[in-house]
Every structure is written in structure tokens, then in C-alpha cells.
Amino acid sequence: MLVVIDTNVLVSALWSKNGAPAQVIGMVLSGSIIPCFDYRILDEYRVVLQRPKFRFPQGQINALLDWFNFCGQSVIAEPIDLPFSDTADKKFYEVAKTCGAALITGNLKHFPDDPQVMSVSDRSRIIRGKLKRPYKKKASKEE
């Protein structure tokens, strides 16, 4: 299964080894899911994870990003003409749409309402077979 992982999921996974973000990264490391990225995403990962406020060890950052490079799928994303409140998030959506991957994020509000975009907790349950892909139920018309 192909996935695009928002940077906030990586930060949360390194911050706490027991939550849903860490489980998602564990699935990447085990080969259960394949991360998709482009150069913009890898650059953001590195810049954010190296922020002094996080104090993540450089070796841990390098090992994680090396694993993404080694086992992941690098793509050249097609631009998408949609407005984003934070244009820095647009690259994740573009990569997901280009390669048909699920986009896993900790903040659904930053992305369009799209079944391809899922919260990190939803993605963990889907991978483990505890939840079918969540779709919004359309209201039925009373006749």
C-alpha cells in the first residue's frame, strides 16, 4: 500500500513511540506500507526534524530518512490547481494524487475533503483491518 506521510506524523512518531504515528512509521520500517515522496517532502522532513526545539538525534533522523529513500517511492508530482490555506501542505496532496497513495496526516483541516486523505489514527485501524475506509455517508432524500 502506498502512502504519503505528513511531516507532523513523523514528528509525533519520534516524539512518542507508543501512539498511532509511531505505529504508522513502524509499518513503513516493516515494509507493510510504502512511503511516497518528492524532493520537496524530503527537504521538509529534514528541515523540520532538525529543529533544535525537538532535540531529535541526528543519527535517528538520518536513519529514518535513509530508510524512506531506500524503501520508498520517489515521484515527480503533477501540480494541482486547488487553493490551500497553507501552501506548504499542497505538496503532500500533489504527491498522493500523482501516485494514488493515501495521505496520512495529523490535521485533516489542512487538506481537501477527500477519501484519499486520512487521519493517522484512521490509517492505523485500516492497515490493521479494524476499520474499512471511512467515507462520509450522504444524506438520503425522503420521497
CATH of residue 100's domain is 3.40.50.1010
Residue 135 reports pLDDT greater than 80: no
Residue 99 reports pLDDT greater than 90: yes
Provide the phi-psi class of 72: left if phi over 0, else alpha when psi is between -120 and 50, else beta: beta
pLDDT in tens, 51-64: 999 999 999 999 99
Predicted pLDDT of residue 7: 98
Q: Is residue 139 part of a domain?
A: no
Domain range for 112? 2-127
Q: Is residue 133 part of a domain?
A: no
Q: pLDDT band at 137, cuts 50/70/90?
A: very low
Q: Is residue 135 part of a domain?
A: no
Q: Is residue 55 part of a domain?
A: yes
Count of domains for the chain: 1
Q: pTM for the whole thing?
A: 0.85
pLDDT in tens, 20-60: 999 999 999 999 999 999 999 999 999 999 999 999 999 99
Q: Work out the angle at residue 67's Cα, subtended by the Cα atoms of residues 31 and 23, and round it to the nearest 5 degrees.
A: 50
Q: Is residue 138 part of a domain?
A: no
